[in-house]
Amino acid sequence: MDSLWNNQTVLVHWTEQQQSSYSQLLMSYFGPSRASTLASVFNRAVPCLLFLVPFILNYAIVLILYRRAYRPPDSEKDAPQCPPIYPHFVPFLGSAISFAFDGVNLIKKATRHAGSLVPVRLSILANEIYLIQGPEVVAAVWKKKHLGSPILIYSFALKHVFGMSEKSLKTYRADDSGSHRRPHPASNVAPHNRVDFVTHVGLLRAFGGSGLNTSFRRCAGLLQRNLSNAAIPKDGSWVEMPDFFAFFQEQLGAAVLEGLYGPALPRLSPHFLQDLWKFDRATPKFAKLTPRFLMRGSYEVRDRLLDAIRRWHRHARQSFDESAIGPDGDADPFWGSKHVRSRQETLLQVDGQDHEAIVAADLGLIWASVTNVVPSSMMCTLYIYRDEKLRDRLRSGLDRIVLTGEDALLAGGGGGGDMMETMLRNPLLSSVYAETLRLHLQAYVTRSCAHEDVTLAGRWVLPRNKVCMVNTYASHMDENFWNTRGGAFPLDTFWAERFLIDPKDAESGPVRMDVPPTQYKKPSPPPAEELAEGQGKFFSVSGLEGAWIPYGGGYAACPGRHFAKRIIFFATTLLLTEYDVEILTRNVEVDTRCFGLGTQKPKDPVRFRIRRRLGRRVAEQPL
Ligand code: HEM
């Protein structure tokens, strides 16, 4: 029996007398053989328990600080503080594994305290990420001018996802001047190296203001062309197809690609679009820094995409001259648009940038402009066609619109040109659009300030140079904020009318009735004529700045959002008014692997059938 204690004595300094009385006790209770087993279990357990002590202590301390941070603030005494660290067991690792491999659950748990969304600090491999949630605090992030820079995450994505070289990234990383026209006063970055600002302002010009109409019209016209040439019988009979998302990729994806980047890119590399979707599926693995030897195929796809862009740029450099610019003053058949042409010039003036660097930057731009707008349009259309009542209600408002011919695409151009405006103002379609993005947009929006600590909502501090992330999923699923009509329409399901406000129904609207007016004030209804069009209900996202955030927010919000909205409305209305679609796959599951990287897509192919609506021409005249 003495041998039972041989190892034990090293760690636990019992006296010999204590050991022998303990051995005797065990033997008398369990008999010699069981006592021996128990003692050997004990031998092993004690060192393990001792090993765990520092972890348990660390956890306990972090937990106490965590709980204390969320006590109601005493405005007299409490100074703004950093959000607390989310408790974790292993000190260096922190929440790294869950962040990389179980993002949804980590976000669900970490951003909630006592039922409310709260800001929290994640410790990840000795670094820290500040997850900022809660409508009030998120709205405060968008308002802070000095917190307007997403350059940290863009540098990360340019390197690890889009393949930019370290040499070219240096200037991106060194740019601490912010995205605003006026640089941060403490920044010494030379004007030509303000890569955050110069790229963002170029995008704002291209996809807002006057650039919006030209880029939208091109893409919309190409979608009409693609659909009219698609393999859908001209005699109005049905044709069955295997995959609704693939259909959107081929029709809408191709239209956006060609509309924004011109016909040369897809002509020189006919498989570009297929490769782009393959690459899109692999982006989570790139973002997790998976090495080449573990996913050779995905790296080869990325290499092919970079090659294709290289070939396109070379061809455009050799072939373009000013006379190639089309009548809209924007498009040309080589570069595609004024934005792409001037982006070349601006980026080449930035230190460390060369043709190779722009190839990687353009892969990022093309990915951003195609891979969200296509699944979002598809999901909107899918929801409409899965619900006959919804389809018919929408058609009753939209069937007057004719989306063929030039006039149809002009926004507010007089005569028949306001069809686009009619579409954009349709309350039910607007609600379907907003609900689709609420339900399916899952992105991390990232900000940081290189020069100073920033206080948010008077209570929380984001230290300088720290990464702040806002997760759209956490905000879009906030049960304390969004209206579920007493649980009848849970937040993980689609409710077409969630964003409609009925002035006569206090329970209607996107936000719960018990949210205090300091957090949300129901907007007043628009003029009576507009109300009549929406059968008494109106659509508004006013007051939702910190809660409905599919495009991020503030000055650095997605520069393509107005363009994206128009394309989604246009594609959805075109499919609704000019075609009949029947979704044949009953249960459509979404792919959850891309959490944090954009719009969800269906996991498996969605079978459907489609036909042209030949007899619908009720209003060939302009509205
Ligand atoms: C449903 C469609 C789309 C969604 C949900 C979406 C969402 C987002 C989000 C969340 C961001 C980060 C914004 C922030 O930091 O606050 C972003 C950035 C960006 N988006 Fe979009 N986007 C969409 C469509 C587009 C389109 C169509 C384009 C191009 C035409 C585009 C181009 C970009 C670019 C270039 C950035 C980087 C921002 C910059 O450099 O300033 N996006 N987008």
Per residue in 506-561, pLDDT (tens digit) is: 999 999 999 998 889 999 888 776 665 556 899 999 999 999 999 999 999 999 99
pTM: 0.88
Domain ranges in the chain are 2-69, 191-616
| Nearest partner of 473 among 545, 542, 549, judged by Cα | 549
The percent helix, strand, coil of the chain (3-state, each to 5) is 50, 10, 40
Per the annotation, binding residues for heme are: 558
Q: How confident is the model at residue 343 (pLDDT cuts 50, 70, 90)?
A: very high
Q: What is the pLDDT of residue 40?
A: 76
Whether ligand 1 lies within 6 angstroms of the CB of 369 is answered as: yes
Both tokens of 152, joined, read 């940290």
Task: Say how many Å lie between the CA of residue 158 and the centre of ligand 1.
Answer: 15
364 CA: nearest ligand 1 atom: 35
Task: Indicate which residue's Cα is closest to atom 10 of ligand 1.
Answer: 551
Judge whether 83 and 126 are in contact, CB under 8 Å. Answer: no
Confidence bin at 620 (pLDDT 50/70/90):
very low
User: 559: CA distance to ligand 1 center in Å?
Assistant: 6
- 376 with 436: CB under 8 angstroms? yes
Give residue 67 CA to ligand 1 midpoint distance, Å: 36
Nearest alpha-carbon partner for 431 in 328, 352, 537: 537
Q: Any idea which residue has 């991020």 for tokens?
A: 552
Assess whether the C-beta atom of 376 lies below 6 angstroms from ligand 1. Answer: yes
Mutate to test the pocket of ligand 1, among 549, 558, 567, 570 (most ligand atoms within 8 A of CB): 558
Instruction: Tell me the pLDDT tens digit for each residue of 307-327.
Output: 999 999 999 999 999 999 998
421 has pLDDT over 50: yes
Question: 200 CB under 6 A from ligand 1?
Answer: yes
CA-closest residue to ligand 1 atom 42:
560
Which atom of ligand 1 is the closest one to the Cα of 472?
A: 10
Ligand 1 contact via 337 beta carbon (within 6 Å): no
Cite the annotated binding site by residue number: 558
**8 Å CB contact between 506 and 515:** no
Question: 567, 216 in Cβ contact below 8 A?
Answer: yes
In DSSP notation, 371-439 reads TTHHHHHHHHHHHHHH-HHHHHHHHHHHTT---SSGGGG-TT-SGGGGHHHHHHT-HHHHHHHHHHHHH
What pLDDT was estimated at residue 145?
A: 87
Higher pLDDT, 577 or 2: 577
User: Would you state the CATH architecture of domain 191-616?
Assistant: Orthogonal Bundle (1.10)
Is residue 31 within 8 A of residue 23, CB to CB? The reply is no
Looking at every residue in the chain, the average pLDDT score rounds to 88
Q: Does the beta carbon of 551 sit less than 6 angstroms from any atom of ligand 1?
A: yes
Give the distance (Å) from ligand 1 centre to CA of residue 558.
Answer: 4
Band of pLDDT at residue 244, cut at 50, 70 and 90: very high
Residue nearest to atom 9 of ligand 1 (CA): 551
Nearest protein CA to atom 43 of ligand 1, as residue? 558
Give residue 75 CA to ligand 1 midpoint distance, Å.
38
Instruction: Determine whether 14 is exposed, middle or buried from the number of CB atoms within 10 Å of its CB (0-12, 13-18, 19+).
Output: middle
* CA-closest candidate to residue 457, choices 111, 65, 81, 76: 81
Pocket test for ligand 1, best of 161, 276, 551, 563 (most atoms within 8 A of CB): 551
Question: Helix 209-229 and helix 195-207: axis angle, to 10°?
Answer: 60
CB 206, CB 339: distance < 8 Å: yes
**Beta pairing partners, 448:** 149
Write the DSSP assignment of 221-286 as a string of letters.
HHHHHHHHHSSS-TTS--EEES-HHHHHIIIIIHHHHHHHH-SHHHHH-TTHHHHHHHHHHHHHHH
- pLDDT tens digits, 168-183: 999 999 999 988 999 9
CB of 429 closer than 6 A to ligand 1? no
Residue 289 backbone zone (phi > 0: left; psi -120 to 50: alpha; other: beta): left
**Pocket of ligand 1 contains residue 564 by CB under 6 Å:** yes
Residue 332 CA, ligand 1 centroid: distance in Å: 24
Q: Label residue 75 by pLDDT band (50, 70, 90).
A: low
User: Of 515, 531, 519, 505, which Cα lies nearest the Cα of 483?
Assistant: 515
Q: What number is the average pLDDT over the span 357-380? A: 97
Instruction: Determine the pLDDT at residue 100.
Output: 83
Token pair listed for 170: 């240096």
Could you tell me if the CB of 443 is within 6 A of ligand 1? yes
Question: How far does the centroid of ligand 1 lie from the alpha carbon of residue 373, in Å?
Answer: 9
Q: Which atom of ligand 1 is nearest to the CA of 441?
A: 5
Asked whether 372 lines ligand 1 (CB < 6 A), one says: yes
What phi and psi, each to the nearest 5 degrees, are found at residue 442?
A: -125, 95
Q: Is the pLDDT of residue 335 over 80?
A: yes
Q: What is the ipTM of this complex?
A: 0.97
What is the model's pLDDT at position 531? Answer: 64
CB-based contacts of 420: which residues, under 8 Å, 6+ apart?
A: 408, 409, 410, 411, 412, 566, 569, 570
Asked if residue 557 has its Cβ within 6 Å of ligand 1, the reply is yes
CA-446 nearest atom, ligand 1: 15
Does residue 17 have a pLDDT over 50? yes
CB-ligand 1 contact for 142 (6 Å cutoff):
no
Backbone angles phi, psi at 507, to 5 degrees: -85, -5
Contacting residues for 95 by C-beta, under 8 A, at least 6 apart:
86, 88, 106, 110, 122, 123, 124
Q: How far apart are CA 324 and CA 327, in angstroms?
A: 10
Cα 565 to middle of ligand 1, angstroms: 11
- Using CA atoms, how far residue 458 sits from 75, 78, 79, in Å, is 10, 10, 9
Give nearest CA residue, ligand 1 atom 37: 558
329: left (phi over 0), alpha (psi -120 to 50) or beta: left
Report DSSP letters for 334-351, one per residue.
Answer: TT-SHHHHHHHHHHHTST
Beta strand pairing call for 127-131 and 467-471: parallel
Ligand 1 contacts CB of residue 97 (under 6 A) = no
| CA 137–ligand 1 middle distance (angstroms) | 22
CB of 565 shorter than 6 A to ligand 1: no
Whether ligand 1 lies within 6 angstroms of the CB of 473 is answered as: no
3-class secondary-structure state, position 540: coil
Residues across the chain: 623
Query: With a 6 A CB cut-off, is 365 part of the ligand 1 pocket?
Result: yes
Mean pLDDT of 582-596: 89
| Residue bearing the CA closest to ligand 1, atom 38 | 558
Q: How far apart are CA 357 and CA 365, in angstroms?
A: 13
**Is a pLDDT exceeding 60 seen at residue 470?**
yes
Query: Quick one: which of 620, 67, 593 has its CA closest to 298?
Result: 593
Question: Phi and psi for 308 in degrees, rounded to 5?
Answer: -65, -40
Q: Could you tell me if 563 and 215 are in contact, meaning their C-beta atoms sit under 8 angstroms apart?
A: yes
469 lines ligand 1 (CB under 6 A): no
Q: What is the pLDDT of residues 475-509, one digit of tens each?
A: 999 999 999 999 999 999 999 999 999 999 999 99
Residue 563 CB–ligand 1 contact under 6 Å: yes
Tell me the pLDDT band of 418, cut-offs 50, 70 and 90. Answer: low
Sheet of 127-131, strand order: 120-124, 127-131, 467-471, 441-447, 597-599
Q: Which residue's alpha carbon is nearest to atom 35 within ligand 1?
A: 365
203 CB near ligand 1 (under 6 Å): yes
Indicate the SS3 state at residue 606: coil
Tell me the C-alpha to C-alpha distance, in Å, between residue 550 and each of 76, 79, 90. 37, 32, 33
What's the one-letter identity of residue 597?
Answer: L
